[in-house]
Amino acid sequence: MIPFAVSALVPAALIAHALAVAASLVSSRHAAWCRRIAFGGSALASALATSAAAVVLVSGQPIAGVLFAHSASALVVDYVVTPLSAWFLLLLGVVAIPVAIYSIGYMAHAVRPSRTPVVSVTFNVLIAAVSVVFVVNDVIGFLFAWEVMSLATAALVATEHETRTTLRAAYLCLVMSHVGTGALAAAFFTLASAAGSMSFSAILTGHVVSGPARDLLFALFFVGFGVKAGVIPLHIWLPEAHPAAPSSISALMSAVLITAGIYGLFRVCAFGLGTPTIAWGLTFLGLGALSAILGVLYALTQNDLKRLLAYSTIENAGIIVLGLGAGMTMMATGKPELAVVAIAASLYHLMNHAAFKGLLFLGAGSVVMATTARHLEGFGGLLRRMPWTGLFFLAGALAISGLPPLNGFASEWLTFQALLLGFEFVPGLTRVNFPLVGALLALTSALAAVCFVKAFGITFLALPRSAAAEDAHESPAAMLVPLAMLTIVCLALGLFPGAVLMVLGRVTTSLPGLADASTLARGPWSMAVGSGPFAQVTPAALGVAVVGGLSVAALLTGITHATRAIRRAPTWGCGGTLTPRTEYSATAFSKPLLMVFREIYRPTREVEALADVSPYFPSEVRYRVEIEPTFERHLYDPLIRGVMQLAERMKVLQAGSLHAYLGYVLLLGAALLIWLGGL
Amino acid sequence: MDDILRALAGAVLQAVGLLAVAPLLRGGIKKMKARMQTRKGPPLLQGYYDLAKLLRKETVRSEVASWVYALGPRLYFAAAVAATTLVPVLIAAAPLEGAGGILGLVGILALGRFALAAAALDTGSPFGGMGSSREMTIAALAEPALMLGLFTSALAAGSLDLGAVVRSELVPGVLFRPSDILALSGLFLVLIAETGRIPVDNPATHLELTMIHEAMVLEYSGPDLALVEWASALKELLYITLLIDLFVPLGIATTVAAAPLALSAAAWAAKVVVFGVVITLVETTNAKLRLFRVPELVAVSLGLGFIGLAIRFL
């Protein structure tokens, strides 16, 4: 059915990445050309992969082919672009193309020329590895690509390896990734040996294992994929590693790399191990809600713009996992017609998050580049100095706060609908979880709005708080175009929910036991849920209503003020002079919520007043507030201590005597002979 | 095409009508409050005089501010106007039925709040920042309670569309349920918090440390301020109408004819007056809460919502 050329698209994309790598190595002496070739090539390769995804999503037919075959060992690594894979591949394209274009300009300033070739090559390797992860149909190929992806990420995080914190972040990223990969390898090999095959098509049918072994495998897979997805409590590496990388890489990590974990959760945990149990669904629902609420609470108190965005990634990963969990619970209770709403909501939010988080991280990158700082308290007044960056960042902030008619609203609307349906139709006490999670989701989305009023307002409005912000300049056009592209994606995803759901229909019909999500669409502009015709949303209509309201406002002020000029006057400085130091600070902005949720934050406060003459006339007041790193302190520290103690005990075995080691080999040999002989 | 035109005409009529009466509600509450405190109080129509005066004044904006500062009040106003088209007032269907229902309403109002809170940071005045931070905090805390209350009503109707909710309440035999009292009390607390009434905020104060909403809009003057004031009044009327729709829609017209519409208008006005009296009573008999006591109030509201949901459906 599918012409031959189509199945060549994915290998062609990989070859294009390889060519870009080769060409950038050849031109490595000329940093500018190296950047253009590597990132331009990467964008082209992503376009090829994206077109493969588009073909699959339009036709509904998977594309299959072989990536690598070795006849002597009979190793064949094949790939299948299923509609689910295609959705993730499309997401990769939506983010990777703007990020690559942005990087051409950005890397010139962010990375010293001598490191350009390394970064360019690693970038291509990373994108290629992620595409392979999304399409490969074989355990060996998957684990290989997964490992390459983890290593490339860590290498990119360590770009600025002179800084101690960066090095630590890269190390933490590596350690956590490998804990995850270890869990994945164990789980995949168990599954493969039970099925007697290495192919995903054989081992992910859902009939391979049953009983408690299935639950154990689920747990292993959850740890393996959850680490990448940044689900709490496996998130601790994420807020360290994402901000440490150059900003365009941060965008890629937050928007795309977490979805590699989520791809695994979908492909394996939810749809690869047979019908989920209620316990699995509720685990996802609970941990998703926990990640969402804690993610946004931590994001709120961050004053480092990139860390704030990284914590917000945890929040959004939480919303995505929460939707998936709701869907799994519904499947477990035999309500696949409801599950499709939750699964569609989850996949929709995934794409939306990629678009707006990519946009926000790239915007943050431009700000960091212009001011050479990351701290909110050093920004301010940037909207006048960087008008376009500010405008696009505002669009991203509105989208991530779930405000109509942008895309965050559409997917959160669908998630709420799913939770509501869950409460209405899921039998038994299980349903009580849904309104609880719904209330938490409402709190999350409202707190996200607070967080992004702060992020946008403190960064872009009022007076500049530092000399660097005072002298900031708008970024070059090459860095603004990608922001514009992502803004358009955010707007389109928000205005055409029906069209998105029609595409998602292809994905859901390909998943075992799920109905067609396109029945939720009402034409390209609207979506509707439920039997009645009235639980419907048309974001464009809301947009039109707001525009109508704006014109009423214009009419009211226009009648009386058509001819009168606007007078500019200084802001009242409360009796003193208005300086940047009298502005409301980022710390102060989130202080009320820090106080309200102090049981969660457990802040420690230090106020120090330095006085020369008398304590009543302090010359300097220092204020420090720190939040307790709950998970590090109460979960990981005991874990690390335990591992260290165990290692200490194991030292007895590792005596350093050759005789002892030879003795171990002998004992092991004997034990093996007895065991094998007994079989 | 006819449907769309009719919906648009309805939307415009409803928006203009609510805009026209909104200042009266604020004036009425002010007057009642004054009478209870044995003061004479400003005239009932003072709200209109104020708006007319503000609209005629010169626009003065801060030197520091950017276009966001000008956009803030306009978007806040536009959001409130847009929200009126999503709520059934006289007829048991919202003009823009299918545009977004309850969640659309919450989203639109959040958009307006976001715009004004961001704009408040733009002048560099510490008051703007303080108000912005506090307003967003309280709104965020009230959001889950609001959502839970709305969910309780929506679940009974099986739809998140307000028109459908109202129609399901009008079915003969559906009487007032005990869970409604809990849900109504919960949502009433949300109304107090969202409209900046005592005990959460004091609309009459300009005392620096207690202001919330007023601090946020302190720098505004002239037509900009008129838009903010008008939108706030409209929002208050909208929230009251929402509570009427969810809990006591009796009397609302189901057909577009003169007699039912007149009856519906009278019933709606009477119910708004009752809510106004209750708000006045709450405002005169309570003292403003400390900012950090407000979360407790909101928690009570959330708890009421949960209990309402539980006894209704379990």
Q: Is the pLDDT of residue A120 over 50?
A: yes
Owning domain of residue B204: 2-313
Inter-chain contact B108–A542, Cβ cutoff 8 Å?
yes
B/e letters for A389-427, b = 16+ CB within 10 Å, e = fewer, are bbbbbbbbbbbbbbbbbbbbbbbbbbbbbbbbbbbeebe
Residue A3 inside a domain? The answer is no
Inter-chain contact B11–A545, Cβ cutoff 8 Å?
yes
What ipTM does the predicted assembly reach?
0.95
Please give the residue that has the higher pLDDT: either B169 or A407. Answer: A407
Q: How far apart are CA B47 and CA B28, in angstroms?
A: 9
Per-residue pLDDT of A488-533, as tens digits, reads: 999 999 999 999 999 999 999 998 888 888 888 888 888 888 655 4
The pLDDT assigned to A533 comes to: 47
Q: How far apart are CA B1 and CA B293, in angstroms?
A: 52
> Which phi and psi (to 5°) does residue B281 adopt?
-60, -45
The pLDDT assigned to A176 comes to: 92
Q: How far apart are CA B92 and CA B168, in angstroms?
A: 10
The pLDDT assigned to B174 comes to: 64
- Which A residues in the span 578-637 are in contact with B, Cβ-Cβ below 8 Å? 578, 580, 582-585, 588-593, 595-596
Give me the torsion for CA of A613, A615, A617, A621, rounded to 10°.
120
Which of A465, A596, A597 should be substituted to probe chain B, the one whose Cβ sees the most B Cβ atoms within 10 Å?
A: A596
**A624 — pLDDT class (breaks 50, 70, 90):** confident
Inter-chain contact B81–A561, Cβ cutoff 8 Å?
no
The pLDDT assigned to A413 comes to: 92
- A77: which DSSP letter? E
Identify whether the C-beta of residue A442 lies closer than 8 Å to the C-beta of residue B143.
Answer: yes
How much of chain A, in percent, has pLDDT values that exceed 90? 61
Q: How far apart are CA A568 and CA A252, in angstroms?
A: 42
Q: How far apart are CA B265 and CA B153, in angstroms?
A: 23
Among A255-269, A339-353, B161-175, name the one with the lowest average pLDDT. Answer: B161-175
**B160 — pLDDT class (breaks 50, 70, 90):** confident
Alpha-carbon distance values, A394 to A451, A487, A523, B267 (Å): 13, 10, 29, 43
Nearest to A546 among B12, B78, B302 (CB): B78
Inter-chain contact B114–A398, Cβ cutoff 8 Å?
yes
Inter-chain contact B82–A542, Cβ cutoff 8 Å?
yes
Nearest chain A Cα distance for residue B188, angstroms: 17
Size of interface A-B (CB pairs under 8 A): 295
The pLDDT assigned to A1 comes to: 45
Q: How far apart are CA A162 and CA A144, in angstroms?
A: 29
Per-residue pLDDT of A625-658, as tens digits, reads: 888 888 888 899 999 999 999 999 988 888 778 8
How many domains does one find in chain A?
1
The tokens describing A211, both together, are 């009983």
The pLDDT assigned to B157 comes to: 76
Q: How far apart are CA B191 and CA B239, in angstroms?
A: 6
Tallying the residues shown for chain A, one arrives at 679
Question: What residues are paired with A568 via a beta bridge?
Answer: B61
Inter-chain contact B75–A435, Cβ cutoff 8 Å?
no
Per-residue pLDDT of A41-93, as tens digits, reads: 999 999 999 999 999 999 888 998 888 888 888 788 899 999 999 999 999 99
**A534 — pLDDT class (breaks 50, 70, 90):** low
B40 touches chain A (CB under 8 A): no
Contacts of B78 in chain A (CB under 8 A): 546-550, 552-553
Rounded to the nearest integer, the mean pLDDT of chain B is 89
Give the residue from chain A lying closest to B12, CA to CA: A548
Residue A473 inside a domain? The answer is no
Residue A673 inside a domain? The answer is yes
Per-residue pLDDT of A564-620, as tens digits, reads: 778 898 888 878 888 888 889 999 999 999 989 988 888 888 888 888 888 888 888
Per-residue pLDDT of B186-209, as tens digits, reads: 999 999 999 988 888 887 777 767
User: Alpha-carbon torsion B2, B3, B4, B9, what sign?
Assistant: positive
Tell me if residue B224 falls in helix, strand or coil: helix
| Mean pLDDT to the nearest integer, B19-26 | 94
Nearest to A449 among B78, B85, B136 (CB): B136
Where residue A574 falls (left for φ over 0; alpha for ψ -120 to 50; beta otherwise) is: left
The pLDDT assigned to A38 comes to: 92
The pLDDT assigned to B268 comes to: 95
Give the residue from chain B lying closest to A556, CA to CA: B55
Q: How far apart are CA B289 and CA B245, in angstroms?
A: 29
Per-residue pLDDT of A448-486, as tens digits, reads: 999 999 999 999 998 999 999 999 999 999 899 999 999
Residue A429 inside a domain? The answer is no
Tallying the residues shown for chain B, one arrives at 314
- Which B residues in the span 213-232 are in contact with A, Cβ-Cβ below 8 Å? 219, 223-224, 226-227
Residue A97 inside a domain? The answer is no
- Which A residues in the span 433-462 are in contact with B, Cβ-Cβ below 8 Å? 435, 438-440, 442-443, 445-447, 449-450, 452-454, 456-458, 460-462
Q: Is the pLDDT of residue B217 over 60?
A: yes
Contacts of B309 in chain A (CB under 8 A): 435
Nearest to B159 among A457, A534, A566 (CB): A534
Q: How far is it between the farthest Cα atoms of chain A? A: 101
> Which phi and psi (to 5°) does residue A64 adopt?
-125, 160
How much of chain B, in percent, has pLDDT values that exceed 70? 98
User: Alpha-carbon torsion A11, A17, A23, A26, what sign?
Assistant: negative
How do the residues of chain B divide into helix, strand and coil, expressed in percent and rounded to 5?
A: 70, 0, 25
Identify whether the C-beta of residue B76 lies closer than 8 Å to the C-beta of residue A518.
Answer: no
Owning domain of residue A645: 630-678
Contacts of A457 in chain B (CB under 8 A): 117-118, 121-122, 129, 132
Contacts of A435 in chain B (CB under 8 A): 148, 151, 306, 309
Q: Is the pLDDT of residue B299 over 60?
A: yes
Residue B35 one-letter amino acid: R
A298 touches chain B (CB under 8 A): no
Cβ atoms < 10 Å from Cβ of A376 = 23
* H or E, element range at A81: strand A75-81
Q: Are strands A567-569 and A536-537 parallel, antiparallel or unpaired?
A: unpaired
Q: How far is it between the farthest Cα atoms of chain B? A: 62
Q: Which residues contact A669 (CB under 8 A, 6 or more apart)?
A: none
Residue B57 one-letter amino acid: K
B139 touches chain A (CB under 8 A): yes
> Which phi and psi (to 5°) does residue A67 adopt?
-95, -35
Where residue A516 falls (left for φ over 0; alpha for ψ -120 to 50; beta otherwise) is: beta
Rounded to the nearest integer, the mean pLDDT of chain A is 90
pTM (global) more than 0.90? yes
Q: Is the pLDDT of residue A341 over 60?
A: yes
Q: Are strands B60-62 and A618-626 parallel, antiparallel or unpaired?
A: unpaired
Per-residue pLDDT of A16-41, as tens digits, reads: 999 999 998 988 888 888 889 999 99
Q: Are strands B60-62 and A567-569 parallel, antiparallel or unpaired?
A: parallel
Among A49-63, A200-214, A528-542, name the one with the lowest average pLDDT. Answer: A528-542
Which of A22, A38, A24, A35 is closest to A106 using CA atoms? A35
The tokens describing B275, both together, are 């809510």
B187 touches chain A (CB under 8 A): no
B205 touches chain A (CB under 8 A): no
Which of A45, A59, A61 is closest to A99 using CA atoms? A45
The pLDDT assigned to B109 comes to: 94
Contacts of A453 in chain B (CB under 8 A): 114, 117-118, 121, 132, 136
Which of A449, A456, A356, A465 is closest to A411 using CA atoms? A356
| Mean pLDDT to the nearest integer, A347-370 | 95
The pLDDT assigned to B100 comes to: 82
The tokens describing A191, both together, are 């599954």
Inter-chain contact A402–B101, Cβ cutoff 8 Å?
no
How many domains does one find in chain B?
1
Where residue A617 falls (left for φ over 0; alpha for ψ -120 to 50; beta otherwise) is: beta
Q: Outline where DSSP puts E strands in B63-108.
A: none
The pLDDT assigned to A293 comes to: 95
Q: How far apart are CA B245 and CA B89, in angstroms?
A: 8
- Which B residues in the span 164-183 are in contact with A, Cβ-Cβ below 8 Å? 164
Residue A20 inside a domain? The answer is no
- Which A residues in the span 111-130 are in contact with B, Cβ-Cβ below 8 Å? none
SS (H, E, C) B152-221: HHHHHHCCCCHHHHHHHHHCCCCCCCHHHHHHHHHHHHHHHHHCCCCCCCCCCCCCCCCCCHHHHCCCCC
Residue A424 inside a domain? The answer is no
The pLDDT assigned to A265 comes to: 95
* H or E, element range at A68: strand A63-70
Identify whether the C-beta of residue A138 lies closer than 8 Å to the C-beta of residue A291.
Answer: no
Which of B309, B209, B221, B91 is closest to A569 using CA atoms? B221
User: Alpha-carbon torsion B99, B101, B105, B107, what sign?
Assistant: negative
Residue A425 inside a domain? The answer is no
Q: Is the pLDDT of residue A559 over 80?
A: no
How many whole angstroms from its chain centre is CA B118? 20
